[in-house]
C-alpha cells in the first residue's frame, strides 16, 4: 500500500471512529429517557393524585420519574395540580364555596394549604381508602423536589407546564426554582420537561436548552386542530424539533380511557422517522402494555407497579409500602 493510500485509509478509519463515538454518546444521553417508568401524577390508582402519599408510593416502588402538572398560586408559588379548578380533588365546596370555579391563580398558598386533597379519593375508592389520606395537602413543587431527593436515591422529575397561558412567565419561575435546587443540567438529577403548548415549548427551550423536552400531543388542539392528518402531524413534529423537543408524548386509546389514538401505525412511523423518542400516555392495564410498550420508549403510567412487572423489575407490594410509610 502506498503512503497516500495508507493516509487516506487512516483518515477514513478516524472519521468512522469519531462517528461511532458520537453515536454512542447520543445513546448514553438517551438512556435517561428510554424504557422509563413515568409515574403519572404519582400512583393515582392507590393514593390521591399529586399528593405526598401518591409520589412516595411511586418512588418507593421504583419509578424512574415522578410526573407532575404545574400551576402557580396568587402569591407566585409553583404547586402540583392537574385540573383547572379545585372541585374534583379537594373540599373547596365546603371551604370556599363562592370560589369553587376559580382557577389556582386566585388562591394564595396559605388558602390552598387549608384544603383537604385526600378525602375525595377515599370516597371514590372505598376499597383503597386509608384514614391517613384524609387531610392530605396540595403539594408545592418544592415539596415534590424534597420527596424526589429523599430516601437515598434521587428519583427523576417529569414536569408539565399545565395550561401555561393562565400563568404567564411560569417557565422562568420554573427555571429559577430548579436552578436554585441544582436540578438544571445536573447528571445526578434526571429532569424532563413537557407541555402541550407550543408557546410554552419555545419558552422552555429558551431557559432549558439542554434539558430533554417532550412535546405532548392531543387531537384537535394546536397543530392537530380539526384532527390529525399526516401533513399536520409532520408540521407539529418539525415545530417541536426546531424548538428543542426530542420526545413526543402522544395519547392512545387505552383500556380505561377514551383518548384519541395518536399511536396509529403511520404516526409511530413518522415519530421515529423524525428522530423522536415516544412517551405515550397513559398506561393502566396489561393490555395497554402489551399493545403499546413495544412501540414506545418510555411510558406515563397510573400503575407504576404493573409497568415494573412488565419490565420484570422487582418491587415491594403497594400495601407494604403504604404501611411502611405510615399511611394507614
- Interacting residues toward ligand G3P by CB under 6 A: 40, 67, 69, 82, 160, 194, 216, 249, 281, 300
Catalytic residue among 40, 46, 279, 315: 40
249 binds, among Ca ion, ligand G3P, none (CB under 5 to 8 A by kind): ligand G3P
284 binds, among Ca ion, ligand G3P, none (CB under 5 to 8 A by kind): none
CB of 20 to ligand G3P, least distance (A): 35
In the block, residue with C-alpha cell 409497568: 307
Q: Does position 289 bind Ca ion by CB under 5 A?
A: no
How far apart, in whole angstroms, are the C-alpha atoms of residue 238 and residue 255?
31
300 binds, among Ca ion, ligand G3P, none (CB under 5 to 8 A by kind): ligand G3P
CB of 67 to Ca ion, least distance (A): 6
How far apart, in whole angstroms, are the C-alpha atoms of residue 46 and residue 73?
27
CB of 195 to ligand G3P, least distance (A): 9
How far apart, in whole angstroms, are the C-alpha atoms of residue 258 and residue 149?
35
CB of 9 to ligand G3P, least distance (A): 50
* SS3 letters across the chain: CCHHHHHHHHHHHHHHHHHHHHHHHHHHHHHHHCCEEEECCCCCCCCCCCCHHHHHHHHHHCCCEEEEEEEECCCCCEEECCCCCCCCCCCHHHHCHHHCCCCHHHCCHHHHCCCCCCHHHHHHCHHHCCHHHCCCCCCEHHHHHHHHHCCCCCCEEEEEECCHHHCCCHHHHHHHHHHHCCCCCCCCCCEEEEECCHHHHHHHHHHCCCCCEEEEECCCCHHHCCCCCHHHHHHHHHHHHHCCEEEEEEECCCCCCCCCCCCCHHHHHHHHHCCCEECCEEECCHHHHHHHHHHCCEEEECCHHHHHHHCCCCCCCHHHHHHHCCCC
Asked if residue 57 lies in contact with residue 63, where contact means CB atoms within 8 angstroms, the answer is: no
Site for Ca ion in 297-316 (CB under 5 A): none
Q: Which is closer to ligand G3P, CB of 82 or CB of 128? A: 82
Number of neighbours of residue 190 by Cβ within 10 angstroms: 21
279 assigned to active site:
no
Q: Which is closer to ligand G3P, CB of 62 or CB of 280? A: 280
CB of 71 to ligand G3P, least distance (A): 11
Q: Does position 173 bind Ca ion by CB under 5 A?
A: no
Q: Which is closer to ligand G3P, CB of 78 or CB of 216? A: 216
288 binds, among Ca ion, ligand G3P, none (CB under 5 to 8 A by kind): none
Q: Which is closer to ligand G3P, CB of 69 or CB of 173? A: 69
Site for Ca ion in 105-164 (CB under 5 A): 160
212 binds, among Ca ion, ligand G3P, none (CB under 5 to 8 A by kind): none
Asked if residue 187 lies in contact with residue 225, where contact means CB atoms within 8 angstroms, the answer is: no
Binding mask of the shown chain, residues 66 to 105, with x at each position contacting Ca ion by CB under 5 A: ---x------------------------------------
Q: Which is closer to Ca ion, CB of 96 or CB of 292? A: 292
46 assigned to active site:
no
**Residue facing Ca ion at closest CB distance:** 160
Beta bridge partners of 71: 79
Q: Which is closer to ligand G3P, CB of 58 or CB of 327? A: 58
Q: Which is closer to ligand G3P, CB of 216 or CB of 237? A: 216
**Residue facing ligand G3P at closest CB distance:** 281
**So which residues are the catalytic ones?**
40, 82
Which chain residues interact with Ca ion by CB under 5 A?
69, 160
Amino acid at each position: 500500500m502506498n503512503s497516500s493510500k495508507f493516509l487516506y485509509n487512516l483518515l477514513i478509519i478516524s472519521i468512522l471512529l469519531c462517528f461511532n463515538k458520537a453515536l454512542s454518546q447520543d445513546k448514553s444521553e438517551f438512556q435517561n429517557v428510554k424504557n422509563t417508568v413515568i409515574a403519572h401524577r404519582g400512583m393515582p390508582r392507590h393514593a390521591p393524585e399529586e399528593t405526598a402519599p401518591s409520589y412516595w408510593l411511586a418512588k418507593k416502588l421504583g419509578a424512574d420519574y415522578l410526573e407532575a402538572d404545574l400551576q402557580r398560586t396568587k402569591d407566585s408559588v409553583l404547586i402540583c395540580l392537574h385540573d383547572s379548578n379545585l372541585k374534583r380533588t379537594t373540599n373547596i365546596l365546603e371551604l370556599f364555596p363562592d370560589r369553587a370555579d376559580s382557577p389556582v391563580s386566585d388562591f394564595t398558598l396559605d388558602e390552598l394549604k387549608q384544603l383537604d386533597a385526600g378525602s375525595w379519593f377515599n370516597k371514590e375508592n372505598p376499597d383503597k381508602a386509608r384514614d391517613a389520606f384524609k387531610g392530605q395537602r396540595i403539594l408545592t413543587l418544592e415539596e415534590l423536589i424534597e420527596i424526589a431527593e429523599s430516601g437515598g436515591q434521587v428519583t427523576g422529575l417529569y414536569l408539565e407546564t399545565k395550561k401555561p397561558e393562565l400563568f404567564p412567565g411560569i417557565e422562568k419561575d420554573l427555571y429559577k426554582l430548579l436552578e436554585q435546587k441544582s436540578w438544571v443540567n445536573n447528571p445526578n438529577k434526571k429532569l424532563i420537561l413537557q407541555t402541550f403548548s407550543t408557546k410554552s415549548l419555545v419558552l422552555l427551550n429558551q431557559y432549558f436548552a439542554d434539558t430533554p423536552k417532550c412535546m405532548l400531543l392531543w387531537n384537535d388542539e394546536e397543530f392537530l386542530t380539526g384532527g390529525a392528518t399526516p401533513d399536520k402531524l409532520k408540521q407539529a413534529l418539525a415545530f417541536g424539533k426546531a424548538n428543542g423537543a426530542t420526545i413526543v408524548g402522544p395519547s392512545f386509546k387505552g383500556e380505561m380511557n377514551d383518548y384519541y389514538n395518536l399511536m396509529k401505525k403511520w404516526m409511530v412511523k413518522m415519530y421515529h422517522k423524525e428522530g423522536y423518542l415516544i412517551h405515550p400516555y397513559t398506561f393502566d392495564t396489561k393490555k395497554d402494555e402489551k399493545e403499546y410498550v413495544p412501540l414506545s420508549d418510555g411510558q406515563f403510567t397510573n400503575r407504576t407497579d404493573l409497568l415494573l412487572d412488565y419490565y420484570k423489575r422487582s418491587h415491594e407490594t403497594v400495601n407494604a409500602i403504604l404501611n411502611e410509610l405510615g399511611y394507614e
